[in-house]
């Protein structure tokens, strides 16, 4: 009790007697926050680590309210980009504005606008669920009363309202993820940044997280997402860029990207070793200029093909389950652009 | 800015100009008010675990005081009419709390930095890396201060029997403990920032803390040691803390203590800066 009261004094003292939100609010009108329609603006953004260039001068813009994806194989520069946008990694070159603020000079202003969901759950193991959020709210100087309301709201939104008193160790992987998202919402962020938010979750937990993210988007939160799951990006993102070796190699909304880079349909063939040569020969002869043939290990992908090609290949393969004629998806775009081989 | 508001023409706020070709800022920011938030976080965790965190570090000095002081003390003859347990008390008052600050800056900080991801979590908020480190150092110093205060209480309680405390000046060992804690905590944090595994931390302990613990005049007078050992001891922060503690506990105050005091403060300033710079580098990567 005594502890609590001294904290209250501290919080009130910092806000000069007036509630912290008012001070923040007035500084908002005096700052570009509401005026900047672009939440992220990157021009020629570069990150170097010694001789190694992780991000080689990329440009991208994210308008307010968009669900924006950042895809790419490991080592493409996604994490460096996301960490620069978060204001935790100094940029090596170019320009980067978040909410109209220069991340380089106005790191604190930038961070006040952001909610960060990192790859690893870095929750405070020693504190309970609710205490985690309370301690986090203090880093933003959110007055206790406001924080208490937001905490209940965030817990409810993430379906954790019955777990406020629980220890972190007792939460499942999916609950920890949701708690990290709840934590990122404590400062009512303009931009929510999620770094591979569903990695390691079971399918049910993934779907729940997706639902929550869509809900947040409907509420007007701008979201920046990185992921390795193409279905996730396809389902969630309004627009995305694909990065490879530090470059921005494709940009657009998922459907356009698919049509533009792989066409409507894909023929995926898993031939037996003795069938492989015949299938490849047939496809090479019949898939014209408009299509493309790619192989990954023992799988053959034919892009820009028609039902006709499908029927021809089916005649060459004994087991019909080894031929799959399907709608093209984002994974085909991704593999087609970043190479179907393993990137190490 | 009010000129542009509402006109709808500008899409961006006026931007601070960055001189062309200037490299991103890599210097140190002066830790501000949010340092306290980091300190508060550690305090909250401490109060959640206080039984485990507080009692062992208090029992240790007590057992040592009685075991060494009364047990070994029966065989020790010091010049003058002073008993060994009385000699020991001022040393114990600062030497054991130094351990607490050390552990906080080594193992506590290491686990928060690596396993728990606490630094990364805080770095994503408006709290700056410098404030994280400053909060950690302040916390290490606070733990040292708290333990010195509690041991001082124990010494006072035992005084009717053992005549350990001779002066109310003992109260000033509390700020001394804080300054010493900032110094030790800063050096510890700087070392931790370079550590690649937990086991490396024990080097700091074995090569620096333990020799300092024994050879700072807390357990035996160091004037009797060979000259070079005395010189080495002079460079130990704890030597100065023990000199000050001994004077304040006995009430035997002299002008030379100013040197001890200045030594601690003047060493703490660059050490603090070193701790900030080294650990910031590790946090920002």
Coil vs helix vs strand at A47: strand
Kindly report, residue by residue over A42-77, the tens digit of the pLDDT. Answer: 999 999 998 999 999 999 999 999 999 999 888 899
- Kindly determine whether residue A107 and residue B128, on different chains, have CB atoms separated by under 8 Å: yes
CATH number given to A64-89+111-257: 3.40.50.300
Confidence of residue A338 (pLDDT cuts 50, 70, 90): confident
What value of ipTM does the predicted structure carry? 0.86
Longest dimension (CA), chain B: 89
Mean pLDDT of the region A318-324:
90
> Nearest to residue A217, comparing CAs of A191, A244, A242?
A191
CA–CA gap between residue B140 and residue B69 (Å, rounded) = 28
CA–CA gap between residue A37 and residue A190 (Å, rounded) = 11
- Kindly determine whether residue B41 and residue A124, on different chains, have CB atoms separated by under 8 Å: yes
Confidence of residue B269 (pLDDT cuts 50, 70, 90): very high
DSSP 8-class letter at A167: B
Kindly report, residue by residue over B55-69, the tens digit of the pLDDT. Answer: 888 899 999 999 999
Mean pLDDT of the region A139-158:
96
User: Which CATH fold would you assign to the domain A263-327?
Assistant: Alpha-Beta Plaits (3.30.70)
Q: Which residues are CB-neighbours of B3 under 8 A, at least 6 positions away?
A: none
Nearest-CB residue to A100 (from B13, B36, B121): B13
- Residue whose tokens read 């009512």: A188
pTM, rounded to two decimals: 0.85
> Nearest to residue B192, comparing CAs of B128, B119, B241?
B119
CB interface of A with B, residues 79-118, below 8 Å: 86, 88-92, 97, 100-102, 104-108, 111-112, 114, 116, 118
Find residue A43's DSSP bridge partners.
Answer: A95
Which residues from chain A sit within 8 angstroms of residue B35, using beta carbons?
A: none
Which pair of structure tokens corresponds to residue A226?
């990185």
Kindly report, residue by residue over A257-295, the tens digit of the pLDDT. Answer: 998 888 888 999 999 999 999 998 988 888 877 788 888
CA–CA gap between residue A38 and residue B96 (Å, rounded) = 56
Q: In what order do the strands lie in the sheet with A265-269?
A: A292-296, A299-303, A265-269, A323-327
| B33 part of contact set with chain A, CB < 8 Å | yes
Kindly list the domain boundaries of chain A, sorted by start residue.
2-30, 64-89+111-257, 263-327
The pLDDT assigned to A34 comes to: 54
The pLDDT assigned to B40 comes to: 97
pLDDT of A219 higher than 60: yes
- Kindly determine whether residue A139 and residue B4, on different chains, have CB atoms separated by under 8 Å: no
Kindly report, residue by residue over B192-203, the tens digit of the pLDDT. Answer: 999 999 999 999
Nearest-CB residue to A104 (from B24, B44, B118): B24
CA–CA gap between residue A125 and residue B101 (Å, rounded) = 22
DSSP line for B238-278: HHHHHHHHHHHHHT---TTHHHHHHHHHHHHHHHHHHHHHH
Kindly report, residue by residue over B225-242, the tens digit of the pLDDT. Answer: 888 988 999 999 999 999
CB interface of A with B, residues 25-84, below 8 Å: 29-32, 35-38, 41
Give the whole-number percent of chain B exceeding pLDDT 90: 77
Can you give A139-164 as a three-state secondary structure string?
Answer: HCCCCHHHHHHHHHHHHHHCCCHHHC
| B132 part of contact set with chain A, CB < 8 Å | no
DSSP 8-class letter at B223: G
Kindly list the domain boundaries of chain B, sorted by start residue.
35-284
pLDDT of B99 higher than 70: yes
Q: If you average pLDDT over every residue of chain A, what do you get? A: 86
Which residues from chain B sit within 8 angstroms of residue A92, using beta carbons?
A: 24
**Residue pair A98/A38 in contact by the 8 Å Cβ criterion:** no
- Chain A residue whose CA is closest to B280: A88
Q: Please give the backbone phi and psi of residue A47, each rounded to the nearest 5 degrees, phi first.
A: -130, 125
Kindly report, residue by residue over B245-255, the tens digit of the pLDDT. Answer: 999 999 999 99
CA–CA gap between residue A175 and residue A156 (Å, rounded) = 12
């Amino acid at each position: 009790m005594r502890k609590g009261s001294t904290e209250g004094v501290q919080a009130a003292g910092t806000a000069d007697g007036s509630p912290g939100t008012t001070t923040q609010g007035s500084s908002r009108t005096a700052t570009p926050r509401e005026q900047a329609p672009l939440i992220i603006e990157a021009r020629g953004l570069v990150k170097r680590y010694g001789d190694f260039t992780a991000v080689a001068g990329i440009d991208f813009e994210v308008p307010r309210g968009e669900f924006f994806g950042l895809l790419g194989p490991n080592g493409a520069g996604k994490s460096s980009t996301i960490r620069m946008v978060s204001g935790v990694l100094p940029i090596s070159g170019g320009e980067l504005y978040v909410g109209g603020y220069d991340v380089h000079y106005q790191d604190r202003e930038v961070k006040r606008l952001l909610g960060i969901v990192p790859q690893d759950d870095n929750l405070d193991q020693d504190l309970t669920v609710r205490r985690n959020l309370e301690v986090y709210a203090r880093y933003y100087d959110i007055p206790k009363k406001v924080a208490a309301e937001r905490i209940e709201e965030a817990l409810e939104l993430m379906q954790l309202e019955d777990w406020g008193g629980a220890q972190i160790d007792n939460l499942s992987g999916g609950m920890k993820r949701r708690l990290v998202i709840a934590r990122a919402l404590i400062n009512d962020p303009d931009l929510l940044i999620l770094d591979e938010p569903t990695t390691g979750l079971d399918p049910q937990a993934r779907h729940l997280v997706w639902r929550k993210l869509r809900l947040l988007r409907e509420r007007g939160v701008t979201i920046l997402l990185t992921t390795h799951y193409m279905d996730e990006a396809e389902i969630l993102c309004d627009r995305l860029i694909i990065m490879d070796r530090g470059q921005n190699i494709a940009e657009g909304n998922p459907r356009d990207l698919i049509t533009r880079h792989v066409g409507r349909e894909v023929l995926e063939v898993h031939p037996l070793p003795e069938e492989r040569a015949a299938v490849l020969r047939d496809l090479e002869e019949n898939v014209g200029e408009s299509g493309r043939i790619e192989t990954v290990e023992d799988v053959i992908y034919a892009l820009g093909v028609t039902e006709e090609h499908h029927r021809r290949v089916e005649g060459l393969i004994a087991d019909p389950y080894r031929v799959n004629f399907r709608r093209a998806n984002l994974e085909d775009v991704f593999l087609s652009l970043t190479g179907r081989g393993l990137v190490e | 800015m009010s000129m542009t508001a509402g006109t709808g023409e500008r899409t961006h706020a006026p931007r601070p100009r960055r001189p062309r070709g200037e490299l991103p800022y890599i210097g140190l920011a002066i830790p501000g008010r949010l340092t306290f938030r980091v300190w508060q976080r550690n305090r909250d965790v401490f109060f959640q675990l206080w039984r485990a965190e507080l009692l062992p570090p208090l029992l240790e000095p007590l057992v040592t005081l009685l075991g060494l002081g009364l047990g070994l003390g029966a065989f020790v003859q010091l010049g003058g009419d002073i008993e060994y347990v009385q000699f020991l008390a001022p040393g114990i008052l600062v030497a054991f709390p130094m351990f607490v600050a050390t552990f906080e800056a080594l193992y506590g900080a290491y686990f928060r930095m690596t396993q728990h991801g606490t630094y990364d979590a805080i770095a994503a908020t408006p709290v700056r890396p410098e404030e994280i480190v400053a909060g950690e150092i302040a916390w290490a110093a606070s733990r040292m201060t708290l333990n010195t205060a509690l041991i001082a209480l124990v010494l006072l309680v035992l005084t009717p029997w053992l005549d350990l405390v001779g002066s109310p000046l003992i109260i000033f060992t509390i700020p001394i403990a804080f300054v010493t804690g900032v110094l030790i905590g800063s050096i510890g944090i700087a070392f931790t920032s370079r550590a690649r595994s937990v086991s490396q931390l024990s080097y700091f302990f074995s090569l620096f803390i333990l020799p300092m613990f024994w050879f700072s005049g807390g357990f035996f007078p160091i004037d009797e040691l060979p000259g070079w050992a005395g010189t080495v001891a002079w460079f130990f922060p704890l030597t100065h803390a023990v000199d000050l503690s001994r004077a304040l506990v006995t009430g035997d105050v002299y002008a030379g203590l100013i040197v001890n005091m200045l030594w601690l403060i003047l060493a703490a300033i660059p050490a603090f800066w070193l701790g900030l710079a080294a650990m910031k580098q590790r946090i920002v990567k």
